Amino acid sequence: MITVNAMGDACPIPVIKAKKALQELEGPDVLEVLVDNEIAVQNVTKMASSSGGDVTSEKISEKEFKVIIRTDRTMPKRETQAMEEPVLCRTDKRKDTVVVISSDRMGEGNDELGAVLIKGFIFAVSQLDELPKAILFYNGGAKLTCEGSDSLEDLKSMEAQGVEIMTCGTCLDYYGLKEKLKVGTVTNMYSIVETMNQAGKIIRP
């Protein structure tokens, strides 16, 4: 693994450092980029995704974020040329939208299919050009932010890019999952209602 320390660097320096490190790779490798703000995570993620890398990110602390870029082969010339395009400092790409998830299944019918669908739904949200402002989890949806969830990596990546991941505390208590929460914060019904009330748009799977 190669580590690029871009802590304290203003845009476009984190992206430039990450691009340079990727261009110097001679084969499959893992690049770790350390930054101190969510906008840098968004910009590095966008650059790496457009170059063909497999990108995940994680919020380590309030001012510490990690972007992991995995390349499983030497990048073709086409992708290398694309990385040489001018670096643009994009503004926060979060949108005034709130996603509300109340079950660990999507739709009615087969539970196994429903579990596959909700995983695909969360992944699709993580790939949007404009991410939601927040994702709220309550009732059975609380299970998706806890240990064992197949969606943790996608949720952590969105959290690192500034998306608020909020899970109902009463629901966690009911399912005995309070100690197994792995992403985001515990919230209450007042905050859930307030967040939904202030949203420009609400999306429910």
Q: Which residues are catalytic?
A: 11
Sign of CA dihedral 89, 60, 128, 49: positive
3-state helix, strand, coil in the chain (%, to 5): 40, 25, 35
Place of tokens 């400092």: 89
Closest C-alpha to 150, from 123, 131, 184: 123
Give the neighbor-by-neighbor strand order of the sheet with 2-5.
2-5, 29-35, 64-71, 54-61
3-state secondary structure 139-188: HHHHHHHECCCCCHHHHHHHHHCCCEEEEEHHHHHHCCCHHHECCCEEEC
User: What is the rounded distance in angstroms from the CA atom of residue 189 to the CA atom of residue 184?
Assistant: 16
| Strand 131-137, strand 94-101: pairing | parallel
